[in-house]
Amino acid sequence: MRVPSALPGLGLLSGLLLLGGCTTAPTSRLTHQAGESLVFVGAEPSSLAFLPVPGEPLRLRSTYRPEPTTVTYEEGRDYRVDTARGTLTRLPGSRLPDFTTNMLYGQAQFDHTKFPGFGNKAFFAYADYALAVPRDWPVQASQAELLKATRTKLAAGGPLTLVAFGDSITNGGDASLPELIFWQRWAAELGAKYPRAQIKAINGATGGDTTTRGLQRLQEKVISVRPDVVLIGFGMNDHNRRGVPLPDYERQLRELVTRIRGATTAEVILFSTFPPNPQWMHGTQRMAEYAAVTARVAAELRCAYADVFNNWQAMAARKRPEDLLANNINHPNDFGHWVYYRVLSALGL
């Protein structure tokens, strides 16, 4: 199963996930999904991204990682499973938090500044389950040809400095632990794959930044540390109503890459981002256009490109925005950071 990178492919993937998922493969061959986040809105069904295997265990807990204080919810007491539809439903008297009590529930075109203490962290549940149909996700072309120097340095076992440069999402935006930030997870995976490599991963991101501020910080945050590879992730703030218009975003993204290449020998990876909550009043709902520009700049400048936008949309096709947003606006939760990480993991290093 392949999904085109264009937006119509998102619907295709969503439909294919619902088809032919009633057969059960031998347990040893099953694909498992771990830590998928959901919120429960009253008695409304909450959808899993994929169909679960009938008869296989489905576990639901209160934290992304099991901890001493983790609550393990019980089927029949706290929730009901419909494997044919891939949904979970909160039961009366359930210990699962009810999202209808969230201060932003039902708010249309809300201004977050008027809701002190907003956020979704207390409302998530996390599911582990076996997939009825193995997922063909993420859909990410290998970028190995554009990252030859990085791969060579990793394989040689020498030092390699990676800088993550961007906005609050790259800075760690609501990840519960530093090691769960998407690029930290990727750096850890590379370290495990290339145990002789000496990887130094540096957080050069600043919350609230656009490409405009990125250019102002570029010397201090990136060039001065003499990186070998630079992850660049802007767009969330650029696309806002008081952000950076598309032509300026494209020009400034190009300038970021050009200046890094002019001052260092670093290879560059551009990555797109996801749309914020559509009910947040400050978003323009044009993230698809910003993602398309990011992909075009990467292609024309021959940078590696990580297609977070389309892969996020495919994962979210059956889910509410609230299922994935830690602040209910524009920050991924721990599972959302995992989505980013998995796209980077598919780059081919």
Instruction: Tell me the pLDDT tens digit for each residue of 43-64.
Output: 999 999 999 999 999 999 999 9
Is a pLDDT exceeding 90 seen at residue 232? yes
pLDDT band at 29 (very low <50, low <70, confident <90, very high): confident
Kindly state the average pLDDT of the residues 151-171: 97
Chain center to CA of 80: 28
> Minimal CA–CA distance to 10: which of 312, 286, 344?
312
Which residues are paired to 72 by β-bridges?
A: 61
Q: What are phi and psi of 162, to 5 degrees?
A: -110, 130
- What is the rounded distance in angstroms from the CA atom of residue 344 to the CA atom of residue 271? 9
Please tell me the predicted confidence (pLDDT) of residue 64.
Answer: 97
- What is the rounded distance in angstroms from the CA atom of residue 269 to the CA atom of residue 239? 20
Burial pattern 247-260, b for ≥16 Cβ within 10 A else e, equals eebbebbbebbeeb
Q: pLDDT higher for 54 or 14? A: 54
Q: Which of the residue ranges 12-16, 43-47, 177-181, 257-261 would you say has the lowest mean pLDDT?
A: 12-16
Contact 164, 231 (CB under 8 A): yes
The two tokens of residue 104 are 């932003």
Kindly state the average pLDDT of the residues 250-257: 98
List, in order of start, the domains of the chain with CATH numbers.
20-131 (no CATH), 144-345 (3.40.50.1110)
Is a pLDDT exceeding 60 seen at residue 17? no
Bridge-based pairing of strands 87-90 and 125-131 is: unpaired
Kindly state the average pLDDT of the residues 341-349: 98
Please tell me the predicted confidence (pLDDT) of residue 23.
Answer: 32
Please tell me the predicted confidence (pLDDT) of residue 9.
Answer: 32
Kindly state the average pLDDT of the residues 158-181: 96
Question: Given strand 267-271, what is the order of strands in its sheet?
Answer: 198-203, 159-166, 229-233, 267-271, 304-306
Q: What is the mean pLDDT of the chain?
A: 92
Burial pattern 134-153, b for ≥16 Cβ within 10 A else e, equals eeebbbbeebeebbeebbeb
Q: What are phi and psi of 280, to 5 degrees?
A: -80, 130
pLDDT band at 321 (very low <50, low <70, confident <90, very high): very high
Please tell me the predicted confidence (pLDDT) of residue 14.
Answer: 34
Please tell me the predicted confidence (pLDDT) of residue 242.
Answer: 92
pLDDT band at 243 (very low <50, low <70, confident <90, very high): very high
Please tell me the predicted confidence (pLDDT) of residue 19.
Answer: 28
| Residues 279-304 pLDDT 10s | 999 999 999 999 999 999 999 999 99
pLDDT band at 146 (very low <50, low <70, confident <90, very high): very high
Contact 117, 58 (CB under 8 A): no
Sheet strands (E) in 234-321 = 267-271, 304-306
Q: What are phi and psi of 204, to 5 degrees?
A: -105, 15
- What is the rounded distance in angstroms from the CA atom of residue 325 to the CA atom of residue 329? 6
* pTM of the shown model: 0.91
Kindly state the average pLDDT of the residues 26-39: 85
Q: What percent of the chain has pLDDT over 90?
A: 90
The two tokens of residue 347 are 């780059």
Please tell me the predicted confidence (pLDDT) of residue 28.
Answer: 55
DSSP designation for 222: T
Cβ neighbours around 181 below 10 Å, total: 27
Which residues are paired to 81 by β-bridges?
A: 88
Is a pLDDT exceeding 50 seen at residue 7? no
pLDDT band at 77 (very low <50, low <70, confident <90, very high): very high
Contact 196, 160 (CB under 8 A): no
Q: Exposed (0-12), middle (13-18) or buried (19+): which is 178, by Cβ within 10 Å?
A: exposed
Please tell me the predicted confidence (pLDDT) of residue 135.
Answer: 87
Kindly state the average pLDDT of the residues 65-85: 97
| Residues 115-129 pLDDT 10s | 999 999 999 999 999
